Amino acid sequence: MNDMLLQVEPLIPALRRYARALLRNPTAADDLVQDCLERAVSHWQQRREGNARSWLFTILHNLAVNQFRQSASRGRHVTIDETNEDDFGQEAVQEQTLMYRDVLDKLAKLPDDQRAVLLLVAVEDLSYAEAAKVLNIPIGTVMSRLSRARERLQQEIEGTADETSRNVLKLRSVK
Amino acid sequence: MSHRPITEDDLHGYVDQLLEPERRTEVAAYLDAHPDVARRVATFSGQRDLLRSALAPIADEPLPPELNLSRIIEARKQRPTRLRWAVAAMLLLSVGSLGGWIARGSMLASSSGLAALAQEAADSFNVYAPDRVRPVEVRASDGAQLVQWLSNRMHQAIRVPDLTTAGYRLMGGRLIATSHGPAAMFMYDDDRGDRLVVLTRPMTADQNAPMTPQSNGEVAGFAWADGGMGYSLVGRSAAESLRPIANEVRKQARTI
C-alpha cells in the first residue's frame, strides 16, 4: 500500500490535467480521476506492468471514453463556450490568459482521438509506445493521429480549417 | 553518421524531444537545410509550448479532498473485501461441484445445445467485454501461444477467426469454464471500441445445427454448430447487423 502511495500520488495532478483537457468540465474531470484512483487502489495487486504512469493513464482514458459514449447517447455535449470562464485556470483575464484560452478552444475542436494523442504525447510526456498502450492502438496509428492532430490544430489556429469538416466535428463523434 | 532518410515520425520525435541525441543532430542538420520543413516543425513546437503553458496551472491547483489518495485507501480498507471474496470463492466452488455433478447425468438437448452455448457466449460478453483492465487473458500479440493453449485444452485444432475485413481487430482470448467443459473465447474490437465475443466449444447436443439468431437481454448474436463444434458470436449490436460477421466466422472455421 505504501508503495502504491509513493508511485500513484505524484501522478494525480497530471491525471487531473489530462481529464480536464479531455472533458473540458472540471467537476466531471475530477469525478473521473476519483473513479480512476479507486480502481487503481482496488486493482493495484493485479497490475502486471511496472509502469504505473501508463497503467493509470490507461484506466483514466478508458473511463473517459465510456463517458464520451454515455454523453453521446444522452445527446449532451458541453462545448468550451458553455463552460465556466475560469475552468482552465484561475488567473485574472490578461493577454496571456486569453491566448491560452484561445488555444484550448482550438484544441477542443479536434476530434477526441486526435486530442487524446496530442495531450498524452505533447503535454503528459508519454512516449509513443506508452501512448499506443494507453489508447490500445498500434504505434503507427499513434504517429498518424499525432500528425493529423498537429496539422489540424495549426489550421484551427490559422483559421483555415474548412467549414465542412468543422460542421462534421460539431457532431463530436466518440473516437 | 548514418544515411537513414528523415521521416515524418522523426520530425514529431524532434518536436517531442524523444529522439536519441545522434538522431536529433541529424534532424537538426536536415532542418537547417530545409527552411520550409523547419517552419512547420517550429509551429508544432510552438503549439506544444503553448498547450503545456495553458494546461500547467491545472496541475498546480491544490487537490480536492476527494482526490486524496490516503483517504481513498482508508475508505477501501473499511470494506470487508477479503471476507466477501472468501464467501464468493466458496459459493463458486459449490456451484462448480454442483454443476459438475449435474453434468454427469444425461442432459436435455435444450440445456446443452445451441441455446446453452449462446447463453455462455452472452455471459462471457457481459463479464469480460466491459472489463477495461483485463478483458482477455492472452493478448492478440501472443496469438500463437493463445491458439496452442486453447487447442490443447479443447483437444481440437482451434483457429482464431480473422475479422479485420469486418473492421474488428482481435484483442485476445481466454479459456472459459462452462458446465459442458472448457470453451475458447475470443474478443474483438473496432475503431469505436465496440466489442464482440466469439465462443467455441465441442458440443454434446446439437452437433450440427444451422445458424440461428440468439438474444439474451441487451446482448444478441448467432449460434450454430458444425461437425461437433459449436460457435456463438455475440455483441451489443442488433443481431442482424452481426449476421455477415457470423457468416465469415463460419466460413473460416470450415476451412480448418
Residue with the bigger pLDDT between A91 and B46: it is B46
- Report helix angle A95-108 to B35-60, nearest 10: 100
How confident is the model at residue A95, as a pLDDT?
80
Reported residue count of chain A is: 175
* ipTM tops 0.95: no
* Residue B246 clears pLDDT 50, i.e. is over it: yes
Touching check for A168 and chain B: CB below 8 Å?
A: no
Cell (9 digits) for B171: 484483442
Burial of A122 (0-12, 13-18, 19+ CB in 10 A): buried
Backbone φ and ψ for B185, nearest 5 degrees, come out as: -115, 135
Burial pattern B13-51, b for ≥16 Cβ within 10 A else e, equals: bbbbebbeeebeebbeebbeeeeeeeebbebbeebbebb
First to last CA, chain A: 35
From A24's Cα to the closest Cα of chain B, the distance in A is: 11
Q: Say if residues B27 and B10 touch (Cβ distance below 8 Å).
A: yes
Nearest CB to B12 within list A33, A65, A147: A147
Among residues 4-63 of chain A, which lie with CB inside 8 Å of chain B?
4-5, 8-9, 12-14, 16-17, 20-21, 30, 33-34, 37-39, 41-43, 46, 58-59, 62-63
Touching check for A88 and chain B: CB below 8 Å?
A: yes
Cell (9 digits) for B113: 445445445
Cell (9 digits) for B166: 469486418
Which of chain A's residues have a Cβ under 8 Å away from the Cβ of B43?
154
Q: Do B57 and A62 touch (CB under 8 A)?
A: no
Q: Please state whether beta strands B209-216 and B169-178 pair in parallel, antiparallel, or not at all (unpaired).
A: unpaired
How confident is the model at residue A4, as a pLDDT?
85
Nearest CB to A127 within list B8, B18, B53: B18
- Which residue of A lies nearest to B46 if distances are taken between CA atoms? A154
Q: Do A175 and B69 touch (CB under 8 A)?
A: no
Residue B256, SS3 per DSSP = coil
* Residue A81 clears pLDDT 60, i.e. is over it: no
Q: Do A5 and B69 touch (CB under 8 A)?
A: yes
Task: Judge if pTM exceeds 0.80.
Answer: no
Nearest CB to B63 within list A12, A63, A100: A12
CA distance B121 to B178: 10
Q: Say if residues B156 and B229 touch (Cβ distance below 8 Å).
A: yes
Give the tens place of pLDDT for each residue, A85-139: 444 544 455 788 888 989 999 999 999 999 999 999 999 999 999 999 999 999 9
Q: Do B52 and A122 touch (CB under 8 A)?
A: yes
From A148's Cα to the closest Cα of chain B, the distance in A is: 11
Q: How many CB atoms lie within 10 A of CB B248?
A: 17
Q: To the nearest 10°, report the CA torsion of A134, A138, A143, A148.
A: -90
Q: What is the band of B175 on the pLDDT scale with cuts at 50, 70, 90? A: very high
Whole-angstrom Cα Rg for chain A: 17
How confident is the model at residue A173, as a pLDDT?
42
Please give the share of chain B, as a percent, with pLDDT higher than 90.
Answer: 45
Burial of A9 (0-12, 13-18, 19+ CB in 10 A): middle
- Which residue of A lies nearest to B193 if distances are taken between CA atoms? A175
Give the tens place of pLDDT for each residue, B92-120: 665 555 555 444 433 443 466 888 899 99
Burial of B249 (0-12, 13-18, 19+ CB in 10 A): buried
From A164's Cα to the closest Cα of chain B, the distance in A is: 22
Cell (9 digits) for B136: 482477455
Q: How many CB atoms lie within 10 A of CB A42?
A: 14
Nearest CB to A128 within list B18, B59, B193: B18
Q: Average the pLDDT over B167-180 and give the result.
A: 91
Q: What is the distance, to the nearest Å, from the Cα of residue A56 to the centroid of all Cα atoms in its chain?
A: 13
How confident is the model at residue A92, as a pLDDT?
52
Q: Say if residues B170 and B186 touch (Cβ distance below 8 Å).
A: yes
Give the tens place of pLDDT for each residue, A98-110: 889 899 999 999 9
Touching check for B91 and chain A: CB below 8 Å?
A: no
Give the tens place of pLDDT for each residue, A10-68: 999 999 999 999 988 899 999 999 999 998 988 888 777 668 999 999 999 999 988 77
Q: Say if residues A147 and A128 touch (Cβ distance below 8 Å).
A: no
Nearest CB to A153 within list B47, B59, B189: B47
SS3 percent helix, strand, coil of chain B, rounded to 5, is 55, 20, 25
